[in-house]
Amino acid sequence: MTGATGPWEPDDEALLAALGDALQEEDAVPPRVTAMGKGLFSLYSLEAELAALEQGDKLLAGVRSTATGTRELDFTLGHLTLHVELSARQLSGQVVPPQPGEIDVQTQGDRPRRVEVDEVGWFTVTPPPRGEFRLLFLGADGLRTVTDWIAG
């Protein structure tokens, strides 16, 4: 163990013993503990579906191209709009009506990312996602919105 004794620098014996502990620890978990956790995820999906039903149909994406090569996309759900501008340098956007929260970006083949949405609803993702991506907005009041997949 570490702590007062300083960092852990295992030799072969110590590393093999630690591997034994690690594999044993995993085997020791009663399967019902993990099974219960996995089973509960249906509650999360259900919740998201209900929110979508209450607030309208699937998100509608409008795409406009501008002379500068920046693409503008609007996603609406009920009276919430995610206005997104995608350029070669960055993805930026605004939540309307303005409100703080966070935006998560999921891409095909790249690691997911998370950015803050400021008090006036602005957010920036630099560099912009490569390839197909989708956005999830989490509002401070618990509102959760996922966009469709967007071609990068």
Does the protein bind another protein through residue 6 (CB under 8 A)? yes
Q: Does 23 bind another protein (CB under 8 A)?
A: yes
* Separation of alpha carbons 25 and 141, rounded Å: 39
Task: Choose between 64 and 111: whose C-beta lies nearer to another protein.
Answer: 111
Cα 53 → chain centroid? 21
Closer residue to another protein, CB minimum distance, 19 or 60: 19
Confirm or reject binding of residue 97 to another protein (CB under 8 A).
Answer: no
Edge-first strand order for the sheet with 101-107 is 113-117, 101-107, 133-139, 144-146
In the list 74, 85, 104, 118, the residue contacting another protein (rule: CB under 8 A) is 104
Q: How many CB atoms lie within 10 A of CB 135?
A: 25
Does residue number 109 form part of the binding site for another protein (CB under 8 A)? no
* Residue bearing tokens 């083949």: 109
CA distance 135 to 84: 10
What the block records as the tokens of 17 is 């013993």
- Positions in the binding site for another protein (CB under 8 A): 1-3, 6-10, 12, 15-16, 18-23, 25-26, 28-30, 32-34, 36-38, 40-41, 43-45, 47-48, 101-102, 104, 106, 111-114, 134, 136, 138, 140, 142, 144, 146
